[in-house]
Homo-oligomer: A and B are copies of this chain.
Amino acid sequence: MIRIGLFSKLSQVPVKTLRYYDEIGLLEPAEIDRFTSYRYYSIDQLPRLNRILALKDLGLSLDQIARLLAEKVPAEQLRGMLRLKEVEIQQQMQQEQKKLTRVATRLKQIELEDKMSKYDVVIKEVEPQWIASVRDVIPSYPEQGGLWRELETMLSQNQVKGTGPCFTLYHSDEPKIDAEVCEPLTEGGSLPPHPRVQARELPGTEVAAVIHHGAFTSISEAYEALVKWIETNGYQFNGPCREIYLQLPAKIGDQNDPDTVTEIQFPVVKA
């Protein structure tokens, strides 16, 4: 029987950790002095500790290890756990690879501009949502006013209210801009038939997004930054881009207001 300090030295595991393993019942000393509470370990507890370290090293949690060592887990189940772990690690590595690319992108961008970019791209998941929309080809971006008026008129006639910030979907680029102006509705919201305004569900998707804060006239910078990011980080475009008008309803409309806040989202998939 040896004391915790020696056991620690032999096993290269800190005393504190041994006490912790005792506390959670993962490795209890062979004996505890009833009067002094000193822990006494036996040399032949080293194999168990080694097994714990080896399993921990494979990425199992102490909880899992405890269960493995407690019950006699069949080899079958152990195999399952390890295969699961294998997949987990592979995914983890892919994540790391992605992160590495993103760090590299940032770094390159900083070296070029010698400052942090104005735009920060984030990847997020957007939920499916119901919308009412009007779609048409317009000659230039600012000329969607007519579409908005059509949509608003129809909605107010039917006493339907939007449930979030409205946005435009751009189905195609210049010179023939195919724009669809949208207003979110409550789930499953239906509308009476109408030649121009339709309700439909927009599917959920992963998007790359930036927020543009400043006059609308300079929004192209944001698009530029976003597109560049998507391309260098190995994502692929996967649907029409969304331009979300985040400012409070009262303020919408002025193309030159420097306090305009707009979010641009491109649906993407990992390449």
Contacts and interface: CB of A to CB of B under 8 A. Distances in A.
Interface in A227-271: 246-248, 259, 261, 263
As for how many copies of this chain the complex holds, the number is: 2
Contacts of A115: 75
Contact of A103 (B47, B86, B107): B86
Interface stretch (A24-32, A51-59, A149-157): A51-59
A50 B263 CA distance: 11
B10 A246 contact: yes
Contacts of A259: 44
- Which of the four size classes fits the interface of chain A? 35 or more
Contacts of A92: 96
A58 B110 CA distance: 14
A86 B59 contact: no
A98 to B, nearest CB: 9
A62 interface: no
A213 interface: yes
Given A82-B107, A259-B44, A122 B213 contact: no
A211 B7 CA distance: 14
Given A58-B102, A75-B115, A86-B100, A47 B213 contact: yes
Given A57-B102, A90-B100, 14 more contacts: A10-B263, A12-B124, A12-B125, A43-B261, A44-B259, A46-B211, A50-B209, A53-B122, A57-B123, A58-B106, A59-B99, A79-B107, A85-B103, A89-B96
